[in-house]
Chains A and B, each alone.
Chain A
Amino acid sequence: MKFSFSDEQQEFRSVVRRFLEDKSPTTAVRRLMETDKGYDPAVWQSLSQDLGLTAVHIPEAYGGQGFGISELAIASEEMGRTLLCAPFFGSTVLAATAILKAGSEEQKKALLPGIASGETIAALAVAEDGGLWDAGSVAMTATPDGGKYRLDGTKSFVVDGHNAGLIVVLARKPGSAGNDGVSFFTVKADAKGLDRRLLPSMDPTRKLARLTFSGVTAELLGKEGAAAGPLAATLDVAAICLAHEMVGGAERLREDAIAFANQRYQFGRPIASFQSLKHKAADMLLEVELAKSAAYYAAAAADESDAELPALASLAKAAASEAYMQTAIHAVQIHGGIGFTWDNDTHLWFKRAKSSEVFLGGADHHRERYMQSIGA
């Protein structure tokens, strides 16, 4: 259903929200974002073992919960709301979806249960130094080597890549170009010749890594040379989940900013009573509600195998990018001077808004993709 949630979905959301309010207050976010690891293993275990969130959209046949993209998206939205520091997006949203879309039956059976249980943290390495998430821009090569492959090249902006035990990576047949010849591979994190470096990220709640492959032995995932389709499908799901994460964060920012404005007195009255501020708040509500509608619609479309899915995923990502960043700018402004300080929490979401705006392609990229997807 594209316009409402079922009672079960609403209950699921409130369970996740309660859990995250308890486990991911901003004190925890601040503590974890300063660490290289970037997450709390105890929370990760609880999130995967007790709530089953790492398994939510993985079919039961592969050790998952068997829910849909809508449920995965609800979890993403709630995590964006509290800025949960955990490798959820890299492992469950990106890597598990890629394995689901690209892997053979046997590979799904082998790889997914570990991700579903949270014991395996996986990452999906697509972009390289050019920072593009598409098959055509992959330069890394995969040279056949006695039934396996040797990978050479560099991947960058790999979310949660430094923590992952399993890397799903895109590489191309030497000499191929465009979407042709691009395949998925899997690599164990301790493979010989793989060098992983944590990148200093502007948004410290989203950890990024640069992975250099020098003759790393890899296994083919799925069909050789056929990665472009499954990659696009994976990135559609990822864009939808990211859009949810973003609207969740934006809504929280708006709530906090208005709560502050209600408390803050200047000129003898709460600044929330000034129309200049109220009108800003109304605009924030409008933008975020529209972006929420787009994200919810796209998630339901993914579950209904709507033919318009690529267009809807890009629409949702573009709408969320604008709404989150604009909300973050307003939120700092409403706080005034204190909003620009490190001690105030607003900048945590501001930075997440900025990193999410660019991650998986900016609003301009997704608007152009939307136009192409609708045949314009």
Chain B
Amino acid sequence: MSQYDADSVRKDLRQWLEANWDPSLGLVEWRNKLIDSGWGEPHWPKQWYGRELPVGLVPVVDEELDRIGAVGVARMGIRSLAAATILAHGTDLHKQKFLRRILTGEDTWCQLFSEPGSGSDLAGALTRAERRGNKWIVNGQKVWNTSAHKADWGLLLARTNMDLVKHKGLAYFIINMRQPGVEAVPLRQMNGHASFNQVFFTDAEVEPEMMLLDDGDGWKVATTTLMHERRGADGLRRYPKPSGRPERIYQEEDAEIASALAPYTWYPQRMGRVDLILERARQTGKIADPVTRQEIAKVLIMSRSADWTARRARVAQEMGRSQGPEGSLGKLAASYIARAANRVHTTISGADALLTGPDSTMGGVIAEILISTPAISIAGGTDEIQKNIISERVLDMPKEPRNDTDRPFRDVPKNAERK
């Protein structure tokens, strides 16, 4: 039924861009035009700033924008997850109020799911939302919240009922982060960076209409957000790179990109920097050591095999074949590779591994590898959770008996209260 093809999309968009693209505009001013035209998120519904373009044609739109250097809508960070969740479950009021300002980049968002007491077990959230009069009142603590310190709005998973079974007593709110009862405190990691926050709620308020779906549907909505978070890794739309061009709109976009990426400078290091191993081994002369050579080969072999495994999965998907187990293994493989790469970098560095900071090897990059790789085994689903998923969903092995699904959440054993 689709009346679109790549050529007609290209032609329509070119025509529109010729008439409208102007790098001397302000970033928000331009994005508003782009949003109104439907070319900002062309696969979105027509009613909400889109053109209902098939997802497969979206790359054509990106190509055309890139071709003349036109800036796209804001897409980095949690805001895309907010948009996807609101599109899926929000009311017209939510869509009206939030979608445009998400796309212009005027509003920044954060995700408020993990808690000190519930990491792998997200549905065990204890942050409470209680109805008092015509407001929901929120008390509790969240953790691992990227950009929460500068966010305007938060996606909050909170418990509204302790007497229901765990997954049933949750609600999903959009909470205003700029209010007195919300305090975001940077969380310092073992590698010295503070890429995340802890967020404390003390009688913070949420309007009743800021709940997505109904009371009790919190887990369902959270699952939507999480699904988009995982899918985001597949990268339907790429993130823009700083252009460094002088016009005002590019300057504004570059600043936006720099601010969004600032927390992530250490992310390549947490993967183990396999790309630096041979270079470092040659620099230090360790390349001549037979034992080190064996360890280097092990990491390189694992890393290349993991890349090929990911390619197998992608090609199967592209060919429309059912994906084998190879699609579920990337995260776990990355953990093992990072750990092995850490060991090899340590062997290669010798005593230099004792040092840190800008004066240490490669301006501190090596030191950062050595103390950052544990993160990859934890963030975005721990190795243990990955292995449960692989064994249960891919290998079809039985689940362990649990004692949190057959009784009111109030009676489920929990972490001791922290004094």
Contact = CB atoms under 8 A, between A and B. Distances in A.
A binds B: yes
A3 B311 contact: yes
B395 interface: yes
A261 to B, nearest CB: 7
Contacts of B319: 4
A81 to B, nearest CB: 16
Contact of B294 (A290, A315, A368): A368
Contact of B301 (A270, A277, A292, A367): A367
B16 interface: no
B246 interface: no
Contacts of A275: 384, 387-388, 400
B312 A376 contact: no
How extensive is the interface on chain A, given as a class?
A: 35 or more
Interface in B311-358: 311-312, 314-316, 319, 321, 324-326, 329, 332-333, 336
Contacts of A281: 390-391, 395, 397
B251 interface: no
A273 interface: yes
A18 interface: no
A258 interface: yes
B308 interface: yes
Contacts of B395: 258, 278, 281-282, 285
A194 interface: no
B235 interface: no
A368 B297 contact: yes
A292 B390 CA distance: 17
Given A3-B312, A294-B304, A273 B332 contact: no
A4 B384 contact: no
Given A272-B397, A293-B309, A368-B290, A282 B387 contact: yes
A349 interface: no
A279 B387 contact: yes
Contacts of A261: 397
A290 B329 CA distance: 9
Contacts of B312: 3-4, 293, 296
Contact of A290 (B293, B309, B315, B384): B309
A274 B391 CA distance: 11
Interface string A283-324: 101100111111011000000000000000001001100000
B223 interface: no
Given A3-B308, A278-B392, A371-B296, A285 B325 contact: yes
A354 interface: no
Contacts of A278: 387-388, 391-392, 395, 397
B401 interface: yes
Given A290-B309, A371-B293, A258 B397 contact: yes
A333 to B, nearest CB: 16
Interface residues of B, number: 45
B285 interface: no
A350 interface: no
A184 interface: no
Given A258-B395, A273-B397, A290 B390 contact: no
Interface string A248-279: 00000000001001100000011011110111
Contacts of B399: 273
B278 interface: yes
Nearest to B312: A3
B333 A290 contact: yes
A273 B388 CA distance: 10
A289 B327 CA distance: 10
Interface in A4-33: 4
A62 interface: no
A272 B398 contact: yes
Of the candidates A1, A278, A294, the one having the most CB atoms from chain B within 10 angstroms of its own CB is: A278
A226 to B, nearest CB: 30
B394 interface: yes
A364 interface: yes
A270 B391 CA distance: 14
Contacts of A88: none
Contacts of B386: 282
A371 B297 contact: yes
Contacts of A370: 297, 300-301
Interface string B362-388: 000000000000000000000010111
Contacts of B394: 285
Nearest to B337: A290
B326 A289 contact: yes
A4 B309 contact: no
B400 A376 contact: no
B337 to A, nearest CB: 10
Contact of B391 (A279, A291, A318): A279
A367 B293 contact: yes
Contact of B306 (A290, A296, A367): A290
A86 to B, nearest CB: 28
Interface string B86-117: 00000000000000000000000000000000
16 contacts: A3-B311, A3-B312, A4-B316, A258-B397, A269-B398, A278-B392, A285-B394, A286-B336, A289-B324, A293-B308, A318-B297, A318-B301, A370-B297, A370-B300, A376-B281, A376-B293
Given A262-B398, A371-B297, 16 more contacts: A1-B315, A2-B308, A3-B314, A258-B397, A272-B397, A275-B384, A285-B329, A286-B332, A290-B302, A290-B305, A290-B306, A293-B312, A367-B298, A370-B297, A370-B301, A376-B281
Closest 8 CB pairs between A and B?
A: A278-B391, A367-B297, A282-B387, A290-B305, A293-B308, A282-B390, A273-B398, A3-B315
